Amino acid sequence: MSNIAKAFKSGKAFIPFITVGDPDVETTKKAVLAMVENGADLIELGIPFSDPTAEGPVIQGANIRALAGGITTDKVFDFVRDIRKETDVPMVFMTYANVVFSYGAERFISTCKEIGIDGLILPDLPYEEKDEFQPLCRQYGVDLISLIAPTSKQRIAKIAKDAEGFLYIVSSLGVTGTRSQITTDLSAIVKVVRENTDIPCAIGFGISTPEQAKKMAGLCDGAIVGSAIIKLLEQHDTDAPKYIGEYVKSMKDAVRSCI
């Protein structure tokens, strides 16, 4: 069983996201440990990119702050090496294709394996371009996570068939960020996914409240939350880990209560 599969084996998963180095790596470390303590099942670590085209203003802000603080891909790797001494929670990187490509795909992906990163989410790498990194990901045993969007329609089946790790279902049109309502017919999407794969799927984009998390996780195997956590960092800066811990607990409790 891959490490990612473990995240889903004891009920619905709660998957928080955080940008590494926002505002500094010490704060990220405390925040990640607070997430783990409070029940996070899988953690998405964002490697900042200068021009994150899939992100709304909140996560764009985190990218800018982290880069301004001097974070680099090498420093993110060091951060993971350090935090892996304290937790074996499944962790994946979320970044953009150019960050992997420019580092040297093999050098990047082999380092993921070495430091204990279980998967890779690249929002600008659709199904048709997976060959850019998929063979290396398979070679080193790092799951390349596929995404499905509300517009995927006839593409859902083929994406699901080839998916590895877990499937990331994008809840709504547009970029990341909190939404008061999610109107996509997600159960119809999940149904097609289930017909084509046994791997777990989680819904992300727009989820911020425990009620939303409960509803979304109820439709699939887990809920992913990013912008709401970044907002806590915006608000509380280096004091944010405490609030992030409390928030993750409330979200995990909500997700756990789904049947």
Partner 1 sequence: MNESKGRFGIHGGQYIPETLMNAVAELEEAYNHYKNDEEFNRELKELFNNYAGRPSRLYYAKRMTEDLGGAKIYLKREDLNHTRAHKINNVLGQALLAKKMGKTRLIAETGAGQHGVATATAATLFGMECVVFMGEEDTIRQALNVYRMKLLGAEVIPVKTGTATLKDAVSEAMREWTSRISDTHYCLGSVMGPHPFPTIVRDFQAVISKEIKEQMLEKEGRLPDAVLACVGGGSNAIGAFYHFIDDESVRLIGCEAAGRGIDTFETAATMNVGSLGIFHGMKSYFCQDEYGQIAPVYSISAGLDYPGIGPEHAYLHDIGRAEYVPVTDEEAVCAFEYLSKTEGIIPAIESAHAVAHAMKLAPTMDKDQIIVINISGRGDKDVAAIARYRGEDLHE
DSSP letter at 154 equals G
CB-count exposure of residue 126 (10 Å: 0-12, 13-18, 19+): middle
Give burial (CB, 10 Å; 0-12/13-18/19+) of 193. Answer: buried
Do β-strands 43-46 and 201-204 pair in parallel, antiparallel, or remain unpaired?
unpaired
Asked if residue 31 binds partner 1 (CB under 8 A), the reply is: no
The answer to whether residue 140 forms part of the interface with partner 1 (CB under 8 A) is no
Residue 231 makes CB contacts below 8 A (sequence gap 6+) with 58, 178
* Smallest distance from partner 1 to CB 241, Å: 26
C-alpha span between 197 and 199 (Å, rounded): 6
The single residue among 9, 26, 37, 53 that binds partner 1, judged by CB under 8 A, is 53
Q: Quick check: 193 binds partner 1 (CB under 8 A)?
A: no
Q: Is 194 in the site for partner 1 (CB under 8 A)?
A: no
Nearer Cβ to partner 1 (68/88): 68
Residue number, 146 or 212, with CB nearest to partner 1: 146
Measured CA to CA, the distance from residue 103 to residue 194 in angstroms comes to 35
Q: 84 vs 130, which CB is nearer to partner 1?
A: 130
According to the binding rule CB under 8 A, does residue 180 interact with partner 1? no
Nearer to partner 1, 43 or 159 (CB): 159
Q: Using the rule CB under 8 A, which residue among 155, 215, 236, 256 binds partner 1?
A: 155
**Secondary structure letter of residue 47 according to DSSP:** P
Among 1, 131, 180, 259, binds partner 1 (CB under 8 A): 131
81 contact partners, CB below 8 Å, separation of at least 6: 115
Residues that bind partner 1 in the complex, under the rule CB under 8 A = 49-51, 53-54, 56-57, 60, 64, 67, 72-74, 96-103, 123-132, 147-153, 155, 159, 170, 173-175
